[in-house]
Amino acid sequence: MMETLNGKHAVVTGASRGIGLAVARTLAAHGARVTLMARDEAALAEAALALGGAVAWQVVDVADLDSVGAAFARAGTVDILVNNAGQAASAPFGRTDAALWQRMLDVNLTGAYHCIQAALPGMVDKGWGRIVNVASTAGLTGYRYVAAYCAAKHGLVGLTRALALEVAAKGVTVNAVCPGFTETDIVRDAVATIVRTTGRTVAEARAQLASANPQGRLVQPDEVAHAVAWLCMPGASALNGQAVAVAGGEVM
């Protein structure tokens, strides 16, 4: 019998586009009540309409503790938290200044910390919860020119594993999904950077990124979303502290 998430409230950050929107769509298809969170109010409203209009949304900056607290207070008790909000910026380490370094940590790591702090107490009180952190293969291996991003994503995987042990006996699981290069705005920006700095064509830049995947292609947002949904199912209760690579075999 197909499992459902009926009666569960899911919050997805970075939900106005890309992986976040795909995750929200997939969780809703499994019966969850979904609240979208992101910084751009207009994009959130558009995303809610794309999901049928009967979807709640909250404007939030995950790097801002007060913003997170207010958004989660309005959203109410959370059963499923998907920390998808993130940014990527590339620069050689010698040109990675303190501001870029801090921004990568604030959005990709501290933002997840803020949201977990807001959602976890209610999960523990209910004795059931699912936290899924959208990390990256950059949380499992290294890539040139994105030291700050890699550091933040490695930190997110570390947070996942540590917290999973703390809540293992409380009915809450904490896992990460680690997409490879995925058809999102981040990859679009990476392609633009490659074109600008190397003179390659867009097709050549995309092929370069796709070549990291043994399947020879970019991952699709829906593929990541299905992995997230799987980790959220009631039957996934034994999956805890895992970092699942969604990358066609790039990282094993």
Q: Within 10 A of 24 (CB to CB), how many other CB atoms are there?
A: 31
Dihedral angle sign, alpha carbons of residues 72, 137, 235, 215: positive
DSSP secondary structure code for residue 61 in this structure: -
DSSP 119-177: HHHHHHHHT-EEEEEE--GGGTS--TT-HHHHHHHHHHHHHHHHHHHHHGGGTEEEEEE
Residue 145 designated active-site: no
What's the N-to-C CA distance of the chain in angstroms?
31
Please enumerate in sequence order all residues whose Cβ is within 8 A of that of 142, keeping only pairs 6 or more positions apart, or say none: 150
H or E element that contains 45: helix 41-50
Q: Which entry of 113, 143, 145, 149 is annotated as an active-site residue?
A: 149
Residue numbers annotated as active site: 149
